[in-house]
Amino acid sequence: MNRLENIRFVLSNTSHAGNIGGSARAMKVMGLTKLHLINPTDHPSSEATARASGADDVLYHAGIHDDLDQAIAPCTLVMGTSARNRGMDIEVIELQQAAKMMVAAASSEQVALLFGQERFGLTNEEMQRCHYLVRMPANPEYASLNLAAAVQVAAYELRMNWLAVAQQVAEERSEEVPFATAAKMQGFYEHLFQVMHEVDFMQAENQASLAEKLRMMFNRLRIEKHEMDILRGFLSAVNKNIKK
């Protein structure tokens, strides 16, 4: 499964419909589609649809909940966006670290990023549902982000981490290419040298030197299993034509 499908954005008590639509657009641009709303003031609405600008499907499939516990019920990791913990014993981490943790957990679990109401942010009760609080990398002298803008920043960071993980997985898979075994290589060499003798390309005086050079060449190439099948098929076809 695409890890982004296991990441949900939860907007709590959003008062402006335009922010819901803007958030849906911000999410879809970054490949995130799981939007959950807790007691939105105005939803559905034409303003939200207009601000979504093509992300209507994210709006249409958004989960609507009466309380936070419903919205995060299946999640094993919950993070809340807040620059401070208001004296509560909740660790505040940077967005980049939070995104890395969420993407890692999303490989097999559902995770949530919680955004509070526009004017007041997360309530103390909402913070108590969070494993971590997340601080945006904003100007400390003016750190107030519009809700949809905050969603965009978080969605971007999550996508960048997801792309990095996807690249790493692809590289690991490329390293798992089934190469020809030593036994298969030896069988290939015997077949190759036999054919070369039959066409008078390999003779007694140059046999050892040529065999060494060919072995070194193929060792550098590291022949894959499917490539070996092609080579053996070619040599078999040569054998058949020699005997005609």
- pLDDT, the chain, mean: 90
User: Which is higher by pLDDT, 226 or 143?
Assistant: 226
Query: Of 112, 18, 21, 129, which is closest to residue 69 (Cα–Cα)?
Result: 129
Question: What's the pTM value of the predicted model, to 2 decimals?
Answer: 0.72
Model confidence at 87, pLDDT cuts 50, 70, 90, reads: confident
> Mean of the pLDDT values across residues 152-179?
84
* The pLDDT of residue 174 is above 70: no
- End-to-end Cα spacing for the chain: 55
How far apart CA 35 and CA 40 sit, in angstroms, is: 12
Dump pLDDT digits (tens) for 221-240. 888 888 889 999 999 998 88
Dump pLDDT digits (tens) for 115-129. 999 988 999 999 999
- Residue-range domains of the chain with CATH: 3-174 (3.40.1280.10), 182-243 (1.10.8.590)
